[in-house]
Structure 1
Amino acid sequence: MARFRVLAAAVSAALLSGCTTAQMPEHLGRTFVNQGNPLVRDRFTADPAPLVVGDTLYLYVGHDEARGEEMFNITEWLAYSTKDMVNWTEHGPVMRPTDFAWVQKDAWASQVHEKDGRFWFYTAVEHDPATSHGKSIGVAVADNPLGPFRDARGSALVRNEDTAGPHHWDDIDPTVWTEPDGTSYLFWGNAELKVAPLADDMISFAGPIERIELPDFEEGPWVFKRGNIYYLAYASMDKAISPDERISYATAPSIKGPWTWRGEITGAAANSFTIHPGIVEFRGEWYLFYHVGTLTVGDQTGAIGRRAVAVERMRFGKDGLIMPVEQTSQGILPGE
């Protein structure tokens, strides 16, 4: 019955997004077994964002569809789910950039955040150039983790013109954290890390946008908490070390900081200059989701715009610091 409800929600999402039953993706509701990394092997996926709801882990990803030498062509956000990290169900696209009337293209990195029984989809998109230039952050909402998601405010929460960043794609990669008192915060940015408190409506700000200084911050922030420690993982870059991004992190005693840099979680992704952390606790284990460029699908090999999501276990020392994570082809499968 539970699986039927999930499948029914996915079908509902497809129908309400404009698909007829004849047009719905043939993979909707299909299951597969984790065979190691990359996790999803029949299409290119990037920018993983896990969310745990009850006994289920949902994974939201961008669908990379670049061909040849094309850099990025990310056309939709896909969803997957699992109850055991072994058996996975595909749910197809839960949203496309053009579901926002003010958006031109680009299903860039996103995160779905649950609050008060609703699911808030924060994401980076390319704004319609008629009214803004560059990347913006939009917000969609649904009553189910699989949607249907709808634009929650009819305009961008953050436009390029709203911040004084160094370029027109500095307002990307949103991550959200909600405190026990219900106060929520949005972190985002490329080249500069920004943070602002969200209002109770979750679609406007309750305070000013501020900057957080972190060593080698590049993009992809992800906030989580374990015990009394707050963690802020992010894609970092030091060109003296490598032209590729790594995953570094900082810790703090409060969501407001101060943030102390703690070093590197894992190094550069294979065959991909970008890397994007998605970190979650599920069934008593901590997992680091990221992406690599090692997958081949049909006649297309992995590349900058053809990435593939992977996952590893993440462990902590007695001091609460994250132990280095080795990227492997085995992933979380039992050792031989």
Structure 2
Amino acid sequence: MSHSLDDIQIRDPFVLTLPASGRYLLFGSTDRNIWSGQATGFDCYGSRDLIHWEGPVAAFRPSPGFWSHEQYWAPEVHEYQGRYFMFATFIAPGRLRGTQVLASEAPEGPFEPWSDGPLTPHNWQCLDGTLHVDGEGRPWMVFCHEWKQVHDGTIMAQRLSPDLRTAVGVPVFLFSASEAPWARALDVPSVKDRDFPVYVTDGPFVFRLRSGNLIMLWSSFGDEGYAMGIARSQSGTVLGPWVQEEEPLWSTDGGHGMIGRNLDGGLFLTLHQPNQSPHERAAFFPLLELEETVVLHPQAQECDSRRA
């Protein structure tokens, strides 16, 4: 069945481009209610033009013995060493939220558990792990240490074993949410009684520009709601130091996005908007690639201003 993006409820959209077959695969948080109740799993949709989408295909369905049964979030699928690996966030009663690795021989799945539970620290509340392979071929997971535990959410980097099954060493601090000039403290009733301001970190995505420079998308809250900014690595490596851009890339009620490359080589941004369930949908916007960063194509900027 063919769908438009308006038909597909999805948060945290992630696109895997498959040049050999001329296709794009769309993954994301696809349960109707991702905040509570029994989780179904993750679905996948396929397209040749980023406009018309076929599916859904069941990318992941938990076995009866799987440790988590609610709040399945933010799946990303990466090709690595001839296989496809899904990084996804799970939680369970008595266990803290964390990112686990799943694997499949096919990009659409079905995916099965690969790591033995989350690779984020078991005593940390974490989410939104993403894969980054550095210039020496070493895999890292970049993830969020959540504001619910540390007030000022952070972005961390964790070395992984070459087979992606285990963490190596301890996580490395990259930056805190409040370092971004555009980020604002969360202002909702559930945080009013906290002793410190609360800043959110969501959805890191690391991207190597053609120039060799390294940037990171990540989301928080700004003056106009959920937003997404860019940090730039001054060393060109995942360890930074990371410098925050002054203004968000996307400012108005949308975020948790990633950068994809079209089949023709151009770049696009995808994110979900609005940020309220069950209305969130994936949106796509063209990007211009510069020496040190990316910017919205003028067409996308006009779209952003109309939503403001």
Same fold (TM over 0.5): yes
The match for 2:197 is: none
More strand by share: 2
TM score, norm. by length of structure 2 = 0.77
* Distance 1:234-1:72 versus aligned 2 partners, 3 A rule: farther
Deviations 1:184-219 (A, max 9, x none): 110111312111111112021122211111424621
Matched, 1:31 2:6: no
8 Å Cα contact 1:114/1:120 also seen in 2: yes
Q: Give runs of ≥4 in structure 1 deviating > 6 Å.
A: none
Distance 1:255 1:100, change over 3 A: farther
- The percentage of aligned residue pairs carrying the same residue is 18
1:16 match: none
Q: Distance in 2 between matches of 1:230 and 1:265?
A: 16
Counterparts of 2:255 and 2:110, CA distance in 1: 28
Residue 315, structure 1, aligned to residue 288, structure 2: yes
Aligned residue for 1:237?
A: 221
Indicate the residue corresponding to 2:256 in structure 1: 276
1:148-297 map, 5 Å: 148-161=110-123, 163=124, 170-189=125-144, 190=146, 191-214=153-176, 215=180, 216=183, 218-227=201-210, 228-238=212-222, 241-242=223-224, 244-252=225-233, 253-262=236-245, 263-269=247-253, 275-282=255-262, 283-293=264-274
Q: Over aligned residue pairs, what C-alpha RMSD do you find?
A: 2.5
Residue 301 of structure 2 aligns with an amino acid whose one-letter code is: E
Larger deviation, residues 207-216 vs 152-161: 152-161
Q: Verify the 8 A CA contact 1:94 1:147 in the aligned structure 2.
A: yes
Structure 1 length-normalised TM:
0.71
Q: Aligned in 2, Cα 1:229/1:304: closer, same or farther, shift over 3 Å? A: same
In 1, the alpha carbon distance for the partners of 2:278 and 2:155 equals 24
Distance 2:293 2:40 in 1: 37
Per-residue CA deviations over 1:224-248 (Å, capped at 9, x if unaligned) read 111211110000224xx34x22100
How far off is 1:323 after superposition?
Answer: 1.8
1:118 to 83, 96, 99: 83
Gaps of 5+ in 1: 1-29, 164-169, 294-301, 330-336
Question: Which structure has the higher relative contact order (CA within 8 Å, separation 6+)?
Answer: 1
Larger mean Cα displacement after TM superposition, 95-104 or 57-66: 95-104
Between the two proteins, the alignment pairs up a number of residues equal to: 265
1:305 is displaced (CA, Å) by 4.4
- Provide closer, same or farther for how the CA distance between residues 257 and 133 of structure 1 changes in structure 2, counting only shifts above 3 A: same
Query: What is the one-letter code of the residue matched to 1:232?
Result: M
CA contact (8 A) 1:120 1:140 kept: yes
